[in-house]
Every structure is written in C-alpha cells, then in structure tokens.
C-alpha cells in the first residue's frame, strides 16, 4: 500500500459528517473532504504517488505548509493531484518525488484538534479547491509501490561471450547450460567461470536447438533472447 504515514491507519474517513466541516452541510453537519492519519508531530510523511511538489494556499485552516503532489502527463493520476494539509514542513515547490520519498512531517497547523495529516484527492483538477472537486483517496492509498530492486543473482550479458574468464555471470550461465543439457541428455561443463571451448560448444548447441541463430565456433555469445530462455525460473536476473 502507498500509505503516506507508514505504520499508521486512517483515523477519520472520507465523507464522514460532523460539525467540524463546512462542505455540503446537512443537519448532520458537513462532510470530511479527505482522510486523516493521526500521528505525533514530526512523524515522517512519504509520497503515496509520484509527481511534482506544488505549494498551495487554500486558506489558513489548512496551515502554513500546505502543498500538493501533481503528477505529470503519463504518470498515474496525472489528471489530478493529491493535497496535504496541517504539516509542519514541506519540500521546495517544483521538487520531483517518487513513491516512498519523504515529503513532509506531521504537524498541527491550522484548524485542528491534534497532530495529524489531512490528505485529499482531486481526480480531475489541479490547483483548485472547492467542495465538489474531491473523491475518496482510496485509489491513492491502494496504489502499488514499485517493486524493490532485485537483490538476487545477476548475469550481465556483456560477460556472456567467448573468452570471458572467472566471471560470476559465466558461472550462472554454465549452471543453466548444465540444467538444459541434463534435460536433453547432453554433456555438462565444469562450473569454472571461464567461457572457453566447452561452454562455447554448449551455447552453440542451445542456439541451434532453439533457433537463436548459430555463432561461429570460438566466437559465440549469449543474446538477450537466449539468456531469457536459459535463466527462466532460475532466479537469475539478466542485465
């Protein structure tokens, strides 16, 4: 989840009615135009979406450090933006941020009863605030953060060619070739990290069998298509 206050849950939901809010008033009170996350003053706030920091001023009730994250064309939620209020800090206007970057700290500025983050979602407007531009921020909170960088084994294509010696990438290749050789009843090679005649032979046999082209003897290399085939399901990342 792309939670703007890691470890904290929503404490006041979107659309809740009460005497503290002025929008769309009925006998039950106005509606809450965003979601609140109660947290101690100074708690880190992170970006739930990627975009550009834009300073906003929608009135003193939101405090002195109100701002929005405004995505650019091609980014998720690009037609609108996400607004933050009551924070005690904010980044410089125009700062580019990605999901998970620290963007502010929880504060108690403006019209509040305690320290918290107030977050609003405007799905189709930028730099505009009235009682009719808001939507439930659930799609923002539910947005998936980018996958963490792979920390597993890596095979570099630049090292998967004849003559490379004592390389971790070549060892990964030799293990993958041996797995394929066993499956087809072929020969295996010693896992030495040295891409020489035996590895060259097995790479060329794999190329011929699967239609990856056929390199000259002693000049073979593993291309991206062949590498994807060989390392599929091994946990090795090809770069």
What does pTM read for this prediction?
Answer: 0.63
At 157, is the secondary structure helix, strand, or coil? helix
CATH 2.70.70.10 domain residues, the chain: 17-141
Q: Model confidence at 7, in pLDDT bands (50, 70, 90)? A: very high
pLDDT given at position 145: 62
| Averaged pLDDT, 200-229 | 94
Asked if 119 and 4 count as a contact pair (C-beta separation under 8 A), the reply is yes
- Give CATH 1.10.101 domain extents, the chain: 154-238
Q: Which CATH class is domain 17-141?
A: mainly beta
Tens digit of pLDDT for each residue in 84-96? 999 999 999 999 9
pLDDT at 166: 83
Question: DSSP letter string over 93-129?
Answer: TT-EE-TT-EEEE-B--SS-SSSEEEEEEESS-SS--
Distance between CA atoms of residues 171 and 190, nearest Å: 9
Look at the alpha carbons of 124, 130, 135, 136 in this order and tell me if their dihedral is positive or negative.
positive
Q: pLDDT (tens digit, 9 = 90+) per residue, 156-213? A: 999 999 999 988 999 999 999 999 888 777 788 999 999 999 999 999 999 999 999 9
With contact defined as beta carbons under 8 Å apart, do 190 and 198 qualify? yes
Could you please state the CATH topology (level 3) that the domain comprising 154-238 is classified under. Muramoyl-pentapeptide Carboxypeptidase; domain 1 (1.10.101)
User: What angle (nearest 5°) sits at the alpha carbon of residue 139, between those of residues 110 and 21?
Assistant: 30
Separation between Cα atoms, residue 49 and residue 70, nearest integer Å: 9
The per-residue pLDDT for range 21-75, each reduced to its tens digit, is 999 999 999 999 999 999 999 999 999 999 999 999 999 999 999 999 999 999 9
Under the banding of pLDDT at 50, 70 and 90, the label for residue 144 is: confident
Pairing of strands 237-238, 154-155: parallel
pLDDT of residue 107: 98
């Amino acid at each position: 989840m792309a939670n703007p206050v890691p470890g904290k849950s929503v404490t006041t939901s979107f659309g809740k009615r009460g005497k503290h809010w002025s929008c769309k008033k009925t006998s039950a009170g106005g509606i809450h135009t965003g979601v609140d996350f109660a947290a101690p003053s100074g708690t880190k706030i992170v970006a739930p979406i990627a975009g550009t920091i834009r300073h906003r001023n929608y009135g003193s009730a939101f405090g002195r450090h109100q701002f929005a994250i405004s995505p650019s064309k091609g980014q998720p939620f690009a037609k609108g933006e996400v607004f933050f209020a009551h924070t005690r800090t904010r980044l410089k206007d125009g700062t580019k941020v990605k999901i998970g970057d620290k963007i502010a700290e929880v504060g108690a500025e403006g019209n509040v009863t305690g320290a918290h983050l107030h977050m609003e979602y405007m799905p189709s407007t930028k730099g505009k605030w009235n009682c009719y531009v808001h939507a439930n921020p659930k799609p923002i909170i539910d947005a998936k953060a980018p996958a963490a960088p792979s920390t597993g084994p890596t095979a570099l294509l630049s090292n998967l060619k004849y003559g490379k010696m004592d390389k971790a990438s070549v060892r990964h290749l030799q293990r993958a070739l041996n797995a394929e050789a066993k499956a087809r009843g072929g020969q295996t090679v010693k896992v030495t990290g040295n891409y020489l005649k035996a590895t060259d032979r097995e790479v060329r046999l794999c190329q011929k069998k699967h239609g990856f082209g056929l390199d000259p003897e002693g000049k073979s290399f593993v291309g991206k298509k062949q590498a994807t085939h060989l390392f599929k399901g091994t946990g090795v990342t090809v770069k």
